[in-house]
């Protein structure tokens, strides 16, 4: 493709997987001479990378697309592309071009690597391109990546999900589980370290089933131990773990390997065994609590976060009380809390006992209160401690300060030298707020 000096704007909704896909799209564009702008109005190319895990993510995309109509009328050369999970849903791509005929390119998650080809076609032929593939093309290695941070990076270790939780659309839009080869993962991490990156987060919808599809097979714990050996690596985190697959050898690996951080994201979704069964989660409340206990025993000062859904079909007051009691017992450091959202094509959407909106909102507020309570309490435990902090950048609210994170993922603000960004320093925690810590470098 010919070099241009045009600007692109990209907006991403959804999870880190989508963020990483956007970093790849940006990487491809930069290679052809495009520059990134954060001002939509200055862009010659606008990309929306969409999410469909909950309805409100979709509504945001519709709103944002509608608002582009005027910009396109003013600048007919503007190219608009829409991609991501939402486009993988049956009939969605056609619905988008019908509703927003000014959209030029529509593609899905499985063919994102062909984006430059589609862009070229639109430029040459002046016609819109709509291409979504049902089937994944295997794993495409070697795409350029334009990363958001110079300090920490996400590295995808596997794509897709085989779990089919009854509320979730992800297995339908991201396909079946596919693991990247160990050598490819190691090579990517080594290249990142050579560029000065300090922290790597391994990504997958269910990282604990890594390697089951590879020949020869390799377990996630073995992968972690291999990665831990890489020279120069400081910190490794990973997400997301499915409680049914988090094995004792993964817990042991975290306890024993120096780069593996004391942090686990362990979505519980509900505290009611009855609902967990209806959700197809394959564990009971007791098994989850036992797992948490084993984690806490093996890894002192570990931080645990979770995802919880309220208002799943058939959720009674008693079921919800089970969720509250579980949250109180676990004492999460943080949690992503969600109101159940009906997704077409999933089994839960067909269930008859859908919950009233007002009940869902009331339960949501009560749950958030419990979570905020434990989060504040956990933060308070850091007061007076000296913590290793990786400096990520300047503080968002106060640019005279630095912002970094502990190994457990706690956000710390403290005064310091801006030239230290990217370094690991020791910080004494002087004050805990509900969602962040304040400290002094020592
Ligand atoms: N409604 C609400 N939350 C959902 N999640 C997934 N599907 C839905 C849905 N239909 C949540 C789960 C998952 C997180 C990424 O999103 O908690 O862990
Ligand atoms: Fe969705 Fe369940 Fe797979 Fe997570 S494990 S992506 S919640 S189906």
Distance CA 378, CA 328 (A): 12
Do residue 123 and residue 100 come from a single domain? yes
For tokens 């990973």, the residue is 238
What tokens were used for 381?
């435990």
User: CB under 6 Å to ligand 2: residues?
Assistant: 161, 163-165, 168, 170-171, 205-206, 242
Q: Is the CB of 270 under 6 A from ligand 1?
A: no
Domain boundary (380, 404, 424) is at 380
Which runs of E-coded beta strand occur in 22-85? 35-36, 45-50, 79-84
Distance CA 166, CA 183 (A): 34
The residue contributing the CA closest to ligand 1 atom 7 is 168
Which of ligand 2's atoms lies nearest the C-alpha of 206?
5
Which of 240, 113, 85, 91 minimizes the C-alpha distance to 173?
85
Do residue 42 and residue 178 come from a single domain? no
CB 312 within 8 A of CB 324: no
In a domain, 145, yes or no: no
Domain boundary (334, 353, 380) is at 380
CA 262 to ligand 2 center in whole angstroms: 23
Which of 229, 195, 224 minimizes the C-alpha distance to 210?
224
Do residue 295 and residue 312 come from a single domain? yes
Which of 286, 275, 346 minimizes the C-alpha distance to 312?
275
257 is in an annotated binding site: no
CB 210 within 8 A of CB 240: no
Do residue 227 and residue 304 come from a single domain? yes
Do residue 178 and residue 233 come from a single domain? yes
| Phi and psi based region of residue 190 (left: phi greater than 0; alpha: psi -120 to 50; beta: remaining) | alpha
Do residue 287 and residue 339 come from a single domain? yes
Which of ligand 1's atoms lies nearest the C-alpha of 346?
10
Q: Is the CB of 201 under 6 A from ligand 1?
A: no
Q: Return the CATH number at 53.
A: 3.40.50.12160
For tokens 């065994």, the residue is 273
CA 246 to ligand 2 center in whole angstroms: 14
52 is in an annotated binding site: no
Q: Is the CB of 312 under 6 A from ligand 1?
A: no
For residue 57, whether the previous peptide bond is cis, meaning omega lies within 30 degrees of 0, is: no
**pTM score over 0.85:** yes
In a domain, 141, yes or no: no
Q: Return the CATH number at 403.
A: 2.40.50.140
With the most atoms of ligand 2 within 8 angstroms of its CB, the residue from 171, 204, 269 to mutate is: 171
Which of ligand 1's atoms lies nearest the C-alpha of 342?
10
Do residue 269 and residue 329 come from a single domain? yes
Q: Which secondary structure element, helix H or strand E, spans residue 239, and what is its range?
A: strand 235-239
168 is in an annotated binding site: yes
Which of ligand 2's atoms lies nearest the C-alpha of 240?
4
Say how many domains are in the chain.
3
Which of 173, 167, 170 minimizes the C-alpha distance to 341?
167
Domain boundary (131, 166, 186) is at 131
**What are φ and ψ of residue 346, in 5° steps?**
-95, 150
261 is in an annotated binding site: no
Q: Is the CB of 341 under 6 A from ligand 1?
A: yes
Do residue 45 and residue 188 come from a single domain? no
> What distances in angstroms separate CA 343 from CA 53, 219, 279, 399, one per listed residue?
8, 32, 13, 42
Nearest ligand by distance to the CA of 343: 1
CA 154 to ligand 1 center in whole angstroms: 21
CB 378 within 8 A of CB 333: yes
**What are φ and ψ of residue 138, in 5° steps?**
75, -170
Distance CA 61, CA 39 (A): 17
CA 16 to ligand 1 center in whole angstroms: 14
Do residue 344 and residue 409 come from a single domain? no
In a domain, 144, yes or no: no
Count helices and strands (H / E) in the chain.
Answer: 14, 19
For residue 311, whether the previous peptide bond is cis, meaning omega lies within 30 degrees of 0, is: no
Distance CA 315, CA 336 (A): 19
CA 36 to ligand 2 center in whole angstroms: 32
Other C-beta atoms within 10 Å of 293: how many?
A: 12
CA 338 to ligand 1 center in whole angstroms: 7
With the most atoms of ligand 1 within 8 angstroms of its CB, the residue from 51, 174, 268, 309 to mutate is: 309
Do residue 376 and residue 390 come from a single domain? no
Do residue 352 and residue 407 come from a single domain? no
Which of ligand 2's atoms lies nearest the C-alpha of 174?
6
pLDDT at 380: 97
Do residue 208 and residue 315 come from a single domain? yes
CA 167 to ligand 1 center in whole angstroms: 7
Domain residues for the domain of 74 are 7-131
Distance CA 326, CA 329 (A): 5
In a domain, 139, yes or no: no
CA 170 to ligand 2 center in whole angstroms: 6
Q: Return the CATH number at 172.
A: 3.80.30.20
User: Each residue's pLDDT tens digit in the chain (442 positions)?
Assistant: 554 579 999 999 999 999 999 999 999 999 999 999 999 999 999 999 999 999 999 999 999 999 999 999 999 999 999 999 999 999 999 999 999 999 999 999 999 999 999 999 999 999 999 999 988 888 899 899 999 899 999 999 999 999 999 999 999 999 999 999 999 999 999 999 999 999 999 999 999 999 999 999 999 999 999 999 999 999 999 999 999 999 999 999 999 999 999 999 999 999 999 999 999 999 999 999 999 999 999 999 999 999 999 999 999 999 999 999 999 999 999 999 999 999 999 999 999 999 999 999 999 999 999 999 999 999 999 999 999 999 999 998 887 899 999 999 999 999 998 899 999 999 999 999 988 999 999 9
């Amino acid at each position: 493709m010919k070099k241009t000096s045009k600007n692109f704007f990209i907006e991403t909704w959804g999870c880190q997987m989508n963020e990483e896909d956007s970093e790849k799209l940006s990487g491809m564009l930069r290679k052809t001479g495009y520059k990134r702008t954060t001002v939509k109005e200055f862009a010659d190319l606008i990309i929306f990378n969409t999410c469909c895990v909950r309805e409100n993510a979709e509504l945001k995309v519709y709103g944002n697309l509608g608002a582009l109509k005027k910009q396109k009328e003013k600048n007919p050369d503007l190219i608009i592309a829409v991609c991501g999970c939402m486009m993988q849903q049956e009939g969605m791509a056609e619905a988008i071009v019908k509703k927003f005929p000014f959209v030029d390119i529509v593609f899905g998650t499985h063919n994102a690597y062909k984006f430059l080809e589609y862009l070229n076609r639109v430029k040459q032929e002046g016609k819109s391109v709509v291409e979504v593939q049902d089937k994944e093309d295997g794993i495409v290695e070697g795409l350029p990546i334009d990363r958001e941070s110079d300090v920490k990076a996400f590295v995808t270790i596997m794509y897709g999900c085989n779990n089919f939780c009854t509320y979730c659309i992800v297995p339908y839009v991201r396909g079946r589980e596919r693991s990247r080869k160990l050598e490819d993962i190691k090579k990517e991490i080594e290249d990142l370290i050579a560029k000065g990156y300090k922290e790597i987060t391994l990504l997958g919808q269910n990282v604990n089933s890594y390697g089951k599809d590879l020949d020869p097979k390799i377990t996630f714990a073995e992968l972690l131990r291999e990665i831990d050996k890489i020279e120069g690596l400081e910190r490794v985190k990973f997400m997301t773990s499915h409680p049914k697959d988090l094995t004792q050898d993964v817990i042991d690996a975290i306890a024993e390997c120096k780069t593996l951080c004391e942090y686990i994201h362990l979505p519980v979704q509900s505290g009611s065994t009855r609902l967990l069964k209806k959700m197809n989660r394959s564990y009971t409340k007791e098994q989850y609590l036992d797992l948490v206990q084993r984690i806490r025993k093996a890894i002192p000062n570990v931080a645990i976060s979770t995802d919880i859904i309220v208002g799943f079909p058939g959720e009674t007051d008693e079921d919800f009380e089970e969720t509250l009691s579980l949250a109180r017992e676990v004492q999460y450091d943080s949690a992503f809390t969600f109101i159940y959202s009906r997704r077409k094509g999933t089994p839960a959407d067909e269930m008859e006992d859908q919950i009233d909106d007002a009940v869902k909102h009331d339960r949501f507020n009560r749950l958030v209160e419990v979570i905020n309570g434990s989060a504040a309490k956990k933060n308070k435990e850091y007061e007076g401690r000296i913590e290793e902090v990786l400096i990520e950048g300047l503080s968002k609210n106060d640019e005279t300060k630095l912002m970094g994170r502990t190994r457990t993922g706690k956000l710390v603000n403290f005064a310091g030298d801006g030239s230290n960004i990217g370094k690991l320093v020791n910080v004494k925690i002087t004050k805990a707020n509900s969602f962040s810590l304040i400290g002094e470098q020592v």
